[in-house]
Amino acid sequence: MAVIKPIHYSKLVRIFELDGWLHSRTKGDHLSLIKPGCKRPVVIPKWHIVPVFIIQNNMRTAGMSRERYLELLAQV
């Protein structure tokens, strides 16, 4: 099984946008992405390197599997 590694925030934003999430707002150094039908937004900090635990928390919020994440990561 492939390991999820820390990545740049812009790459993470592109992954979620490929999955249908839309940028709704920016507050400070955090981006909020929303998707119709989902109750909570995905919040991505504008950090040079986003840690794995934040990526996994956002995947859980989005209902995204590890396989889907890695598939989208390969497209970016």
The listed CATH number (3.40.50.2300, 3.50.50.60, 1.10.357.10, 3.30.920.30) that belongs to domain 9-75: 3.30.920.30
C-alpha–C-alpha distance, residues 36 and 29, integer Å: 24
**pLDDT score for 2:** 84
Give the angle subtended at the CA of 66 by the CAs of 43 and 6, to the nearest 5°: 55
| Cα 9 to the center of its chain, rounded Å | 8
Write down the pLDDT at residue 50.
97
The pLDDT assigned to 6 comes to 97
**For the chain, what are the domain ranges?**
9-75
Q: Going residue by residue through the chain (76 aa), what tens digit of pLDDT does each one get?
A: 689 999 999 999 999 999 999 999 999 999 999 999 899 999 999 999 999 999 999 999 999 999 999 999 999 8
